[in-house]
Structure 1
Amino acid sequence: MSEWRPIETAPKYCDPIDIWGKHGRTPDCTYGKPTYQDGIGWIYQSGYDSDGPVFELVVKPTHWMPLPEPPQLRDNEPETTRRHCPLDGGGEDAR
């Protein structure tokens, strides 16, 4: 099991991580630009609107933790696709 690490050591590329901030744990965060706020920082998908996914800033992030490894796939089970990266439009090699 991973342990919480200081936010200053968090990797700023598009693999999602869990973040601990003012409101507790926020899963699946990336570093990028929020949808309707100024600036750049640790964001999470808070929902959808008519334009698509909405990303908001994590409030006062202090720690981070990598996501656990996904479960082992069974025969004939499809792999999931990579998540959207708000910094560069996403894609297979969004790093």
Structure 2
Amino acid sequence: MTATLPAGWKPIESAPKDGTGILGYWNTGALHDCSFGAVKFHRGAWWETNEDYKVSQPTHWMPLPAAPCQTCNGHGMVGGLTPHSGYDAEPCPDCTPPATTQDAPITVSLDPDPRGVSVGVWQGSHCIYNGAHAVPAPAAGDARDAERWRSFRNAITQQDLGWLDRMDTALTALGCDLDDETPPSADQVDAAADAAIAAQQGKGGEA
């Protein structure tokens, strides 16, 4: 039975014969009869890299992988990796690739501008976008709702002690019976709030 080899394995005929260590692979074709190990060709034969034992010729080979980092032993992290050491691990300084521009965090800056607001987009120290944008004015309804909220807040904080009375008068004028179990509609409450605000401003009840 022939095993399917992952990408990267090469026929042994192309392996270096100058004593360079390689990762050898043996596949005899028998089921489960496959193995690999570090070997080199020396004195006309294949040997283990420490030259203790002569081995049969591998069927395939690939370059030996790089040795594990001596600082982190191949973990990629240094520092605490367990509860007892505080989980204060950090990327290994000797094997962690340096951050590239693409890895840098993206930040957005907003600054006042005569045209509205200036928007800057930065990736690390590199500006990738900068432009001025007009700030749309709030819709009339939004401004009106904000004014209603401020009048309600002033009443709750006792800055406008007459607001509740003006609301009661306005709701009654709109035909709302506050003793009735049916509450006023949202539109009626808005209209009453507008009337209460106008009355407080001395506009004779104008909305």
TM-score, normalised with respect to structure 2: 0.25
Larger Rg: 2
The alignment's TM-score, normalised by the length of structure 1, stands at: 0.49
Higher relative helix content: 2
Structure with greater strand share of residues: 1
